[in-house]
Amino acid sequence: MEYKDEKLVEEKVFKDPVHRYIHVRDKVIWDVIGTSEFQRLRRIKQLGTTYLVFHGAEHSRFHHSLGVYEIVRRIIDDGFSGRPEWNNEERLVTMCAALLHDLGHGPFSHAFEKVFDLDHEQFTQAILLGDTEVNAVLRRVAPDFPQKVADIIGKTYPDKLVVSLISSQIDADRMDYLQRDAYFTGVSYGHFDMERILRVMRPTEEQAVIKYSGMHAVEDYIMSRYQMYWQVYFHPVSRSAEVILTKILHRAKQLHASGYIFKQEPTHFHSFFDKTFVLEDYIALDENILMTYFQIWMKEEDAILSDLCYRFINRRLFQYAEFDPATEYRKIGELEQLFKEAGIDPAYYLVTDSSSDLPYDFYGPGEENERLPIYLQMKNGDLSELSRSSDVVDAISGKRRTDHKIYFPEDVLEAGKAKNPLYGRILHMLKG
């Protein structure tokens, strides 16, 4: 029997709080899960700094990756299999892509990528195609199999239906993370009837579509997504932690560039500071390693680095104030000047941050935008874009909500305002 068709003697299951069980029968899937690059995802949290607000949010990208795999497996085996629009030759490659879609995420992904100018999607491609354990497993299926998996994740695979299962406005990735993040944060948003959506999902040549009778379940999914973004993902306190984390990495990078001698050499970071990293350096990193450095750096001589690390480790986060860039951008310049005069470096202690989300959007002809809409399959087989049938979705379609905040160390300013009147002036400008 060919490796691609090999089944485990007995089905393996992972107990899962969201999907109850993750079922694995394919030998290839089992072998991929066992690779060191996939196991590394256990050491990278799904929601980064969110655990500092919602203490339950300690779940990892390993959990989520298994969840996306399970949803895709159910879509194919319980929904698409046997339908003429679905080519079952794509089953294994689609499930591998689902399992591996987040493989290249690094520790505290967003902040790390921003500071070191990296892209986790490029690392996903590099791990799939490089000299790695994952690549060795996938190559046993066929020499071009790793490239096929990489193409699905990179959205360059010729079969658009397959791509849409992993990456579209109603894909397995979102369906898993909304439910999983809701479960682990403990919020009451984020829940929707996924079983119903999977039952009414239909394959077409270009993408998966939803049978008309499932419209209300999809409405619930869109609203769940909307709520989760504003209540969880953009929570201002979590953003404050992210701001401090980003500034820690910036400070360490700047100190290295200036020739500063660290008490504990940051060997894991050297190749990132110098932009000489190779894939092995990236795979060697995880959040445990970064947290260890942050602990050690609390004892550094550099006052800014040690303070920022103390703040992050002990949750002494920055305070925030609302900020309207359109009318207040000049105020930022004034504040930066005041911070300098007060002896507080604004590059690390005065930070603007924006959050924005578009809950659902549709593609019109010409250059409206680049998002593939969700289609409903009507009784006569025609496809109709979701917002044309749903008043609820129509009400939020194309409507972007943006929120700007400015972060600052209120604790320092409050403690010092009696001695230094500039501190009081800064506080007055920030808080009114």
Partner 1 sequence: MLQEHARIVQFISMANEVTGRKKLQKMIYIAKKMNFPFAEKYELHMYGPYSEELTLRIEELCAMGFLAERCTDKGSYVQYSYRVTGEGEGFLEMADDAHAMLGTCIDSMNAKSSRFLELVSTLLYFDQLDKDEQIAKVLIVKSKLNFTVEEMTAAFEFISEMQTYAVQ
Residues of this chain that interact with partner 1 (CB under 8 A) are 114, 119, 121, 154-156, 158, 325-326, 329, 332-333, 336, 346, 350-352, 354, 356, 358, 363-372, 400, 402
User: To the nearest whole angstrom, how small is the minimum distance from the Cβ of residue 30 to partner 1?
Assistant: 31
**3-class SS of residue 106:** coil
The phi and psi torsions of 308 (rounded to 5 degrees) equal -60, -40
User: To the nearest whole angstrom, how small is the minimum distance from the Cβ of residue 129 to partner 1?
Assistant: 10
336/394 with CB nearer partner 1: 336
77/121 with CB nearer partner 1: 121
User: To the nearest whole angstrom, how small is the minimum distance from the Cβ of residue 242 to partner 1?
Assistant: 16
186/325 with CB nearer partner 1: 325
259/365 with CB nearer partner 1: 365
Which H, E and C letters describe 267-324, residue by residue? Answer: CCCHHHHCCCCCHHHHHCCCHHHHHHHHHHHCCCCCHHHHHHHHHHHCCCCCEEEECC
User: To the nearest whole angstrom, how small is the minimum distance from the Cβ of residue 275 to partner 1?
Assistant: 12
User: To the nearest whole angstrom, how small is the minimum distance from the Cβ of residue 156 to partner 1?
Assistant: 5
Instruction: Single out the residue of 165, 140, 156 nearest to residue 68, CA to CA.
Output: 165
275/419 with CB nearer partner 1: 275
Residues 201 and 79: their CA atoms lie apart, in Å, by: 7
User: To the nearest whole angstrom, how small is the minimum distance from the Cβ of residue 100 to partner 1?
Assistant: 17
Rounded to 5°, the CA angle 127-128-134 comes to: 90
21/329 with CB nearer partner 1: 329
162/200 with CB nearer partner 1: 162
User: To the nearest whole angstrom, how small is the minimum distance from the Cβ of residue 188 to partner 1?
Assistant: 28
User: To the nearest whole angstrom, how small is the minimum distance from the Cβ of residue 371 to partner 1?
Assistant: 8
Surface-to-core class of residue 415, CB atoms within 10 Å of its CB (0-12 exposed, 13-18 middle, 19+ buried): exposed
Which amino acid is located at 421 in the chain? P
**DSSP characters over 307-375:** HHHHHHHTT-PPEEEE--HHHHHHHHHHHHHHHHHTT--HHHH-EEEEEEE-SB--PPSSSS-SPPPPE
Which amino acid is located at 406 in the chain? I
Residues 217 and 391: their CA atoms lie apart, in Å, by: 14
Give 398's DSSP letter: T
Listed in sequence order, the residues at least 6 apart from 389 whose beta carbon sits closer than 8 Å to its beta carbon are 212, 215, 376
Instruction: Single out the residue of 373, 372, 333 nearest to residue 350, CA to CA.
Output: 333
User: To the nearest whole angstrom, how small is the minimum distance from the Cβ of residue 326 to partner 1?
Assistant: 4
260/277 with CB nearer partner 1: 277
218/351 with CB nearer partner 1: 351
Q: In what order do the strands lie in the sheet with 375-377?
A: 201-203, 208-211, 375-377, 383-385
Tokens (6 digits) for 259: 């020739």
The phi and psi torsions of 199 (rounded to 5 degrees) equal -65, -30
